[in-house]
Structure 1
């Protein structure tokens, strides 16, 4: 196949460094806070769940609930207030992170409201099994939905309807029959290596965030097996220019950028989690990524152009250039010439509603350009909002303009839209610079 076909699930339809996370609490007083949470004077104000503090009052039955981001900030403000009350130094804090302000958090409240409506749509499409799907491919789509929920700050341990839904979705993905003996997720729902990469990436982001010790244990065990499958698939002998990449099945002897990026992001996220991922595997994948760069290179090595579906193609595409940009950054290549070239290409080739894989491309575009920062982040923020906010349906979902992407369903497009709009919330560690 020589045409650009990055759609992860649509293809299946056709063919069948240490992680740096902003601390919730300061290590110097976290244990003190934890001990005091059991105090009768604080009863009913907070609950403790796997080391996280949540506001009991934030039930989903409240009228006029704050937006997702504001709820997270309110939780953290409660924690700072509790710590201050306990230690007596609220007025003159000595920790490195100031209590966050919720005043004028974002100018565009429409975005928060759109995210809230989208989450409610996803939850209405959750089945009794815990799967979140409307069009098959249960593991892959449920994993995308879990990442979308996490991207706006939901956690499986939360005692809310959304937290319980996320916990049930994780339980579904972790089901005993969903990963075969070789560690492969893609056979169960027909999503192939696309789905396997999506599920694996989701598990790396949920590592240590399970609602119970048992759920955390299962996440770790399933993740280890999934990573071994990715590594063994990469090691299959391939043509030199295709080495380091992946394709539709674990035994494929060719590669394409669309499949490869999911595996690469999963490996990098797992390495950030200090899982056993050889640095050589990431370097090989990066080399394949560089081979997929399409454009002119000057004597100084600075490229002009973008990324294409497979090495050797003459023209970059919006979706693959956005994907390549994000993947390079996820792997720490912020100053690579390909990153600068891809950002410039995307800045001058603004996506349109008739993009072949609009939602898939916007997901990479929003995250990648946000990490570049400056005018690139400003422009992409405007573009994503202008393309998505007016097109949200009354039920909270988004529908792809047409073609193969529309055939995957509304859970797919809505999850990717949420991941695109959530860049300002900055919760998923894989997308943090």
Structure 2
């Protein structure tokens, strides 16, 4: 297929840590239903994108959502230079860069937006020819690092000036920093260490993670914390194993308020932790998403169909494993 040959060729020219992960992906058979769901979802996103590069529904104009949409295409191995969705990807990247502050590198109006936009820039870096991408990505990473320095918890929350922190915002910054590292951008080890220390302070004895403390643990938050430890290669601990056991007990969980956010993180957390458990959960997720996808390829949700569709597709992206962040 065009997208597979393109990705293999392009990655030969980027950092070896990135290319090796992608070129060594397991060549598993991808379930036909996954291809069907994913193709329909991408078609919907491509048809609904505006000329400016965003999506006019719900939160679709937020840089974070645009970043997730761009990632959904790249995670499918789409050619960002000459493929059928190249223009969609490029317009999305242009939109993200247009929303970046020239003063401090901040993208959007919240650290959620900044993190997911940064992650999309990192995943695009090296596989798309764009004159402004390198500078934008480096500035975005510098903003995350500088925001942590001002935070008394050594973590992150809603704005770069926030003094408090929570596990959701902190988790998405850490994942974005790992994506930037995979792209060859320098990220200080101490930044990762402090962020992980904060997440650990929010983990209870049963392995569950809470929002701003170890109280009130939830599977969504636990998936975020577990994924960050996996990306840091810090899985040989009692706390990590307790979190995995907690997630295993909640394979049928569905987040009432942020379902696609949960599925996005749960798929990655389980894949990095135990591929057999991930396969079990993945099969359930495929069946679930197949029943709720609309005829036009979108997914319903209170944050808008662009966010819902991108989140749903990315929860299936481990079936393809084109992005370095998905490699073990």
Normalising by structure 2, we get a TM-score of 0.88
- Please tell me whether residue 202 in structure 1 is matched to residue 120 in structure 2: yes
- The correspondence for 1:306, drawn from 187, 208, 216, is 208
Distance 1:74 1:270 in 2: 24
Contact residue 132 and residue 169 of structure 1 kept, 8 A: no
Q: Offset at 1:353?
A: 4.3
Higher Rg: 1
Deviation at residue 349 of structure 1 after TM alignment: 1.4
- Residue 365 of structure 1 corresponds to 266
- Give RMSD over aligned pairs: 2.3
Give the structure with the larger helix fraction: 2
1:126 Cα deviation from its structure 2 partner = 0.7
* Distance (Å, rounded) in 1 between the aligned partners of 2:299 and 2:94: 26
How big is the shift at 1:374? 3.9
Give the Cα separation in 1 of the matches to 2:7 and 2:103: 42
Q: Provide the residue aligned with 1:41 in structure 2.
A: none
Aligned residue number for residue 40 of structure 1: none
Per-residue deviation, 1:142: 1.1
Q: How does 1:2-401 map to 2 (within 5 A)?
A: 71-73=2-4, 105-106=29-30, 108-136=31-59, 137-158=61-82, 160-175=83-98, 178-187=100-109, 192-210=110-128, 212=129, 215=130, 217-238=131-152, 243-295=153-205, 304-313=206-215, 315-353=216-254, 355-400=256-301
How many residues are matched?
A: 313
Distance 1:201 1:234 in 2: 17
Q: Distance in 1 between matches of 2:121 and 2:282?
A: 27
Counterparts of 1:121 and 1:111, CA distance in 2: 15
Matched residues in 2 for 1:257 and 1:133: separation?
Answer: 29
After superposing on structure 2, the runs of 4+ consecutive aligned residues of structure 1 that deviate more than 4 Å are 73-77
* Partner SS for 1:371: helix
Q: Corresponding residue for 1:424? A: 319
The verdict on how the C-alpha distance between 1:381 and 1:237 changes in structure 2, with shifts beyond 3 A counting, is closer
The CA deviation string for residues 375-397 of structure 1, in whole angstroms up to 9 with x for no partner, is 31222112211321111111101
With over 3 angstroms needed to count, the CA separation of the structure-2 counterparts of 1:153 and 1:377, relative to structure 1, is same
**Do 2:62 and 2:108's aligned partners in 1 also have CA atoms closer than 8 Å?**
no
Output the CA distance in 1 between the equivalents of 2:140 and 2:211: 24
Q: Distance in 2 between matches of 1:353 and 1:105?
A: 27
TM-score w.r.t. the length of structure 1 is 0.68
For residues 84-109 of structure 1, what are the alpha-carbon distances to aligned partners after superposition, in whole Å with 9 as ceiling and x for unaligned?
Answer: xxxxxxxxxxxxx89x98xx933x31
Instruction: Report Cα offsets for 1:191-245 as digits up to 9, x if no partner.
Output: x1110111111111111122x3xx1x4111011111111111101142xxxx221
Which structure has the highest strand share of the two? 1
C-alpha distance in 1 between matches for 2:64 and 2:7:
32
**SS class of match (2:217):** coil
What is the distance in 2 between the residues matched to 1:347 and 1:382?
14
How many angstroms does 1:72 deviate by?
A: 3.8
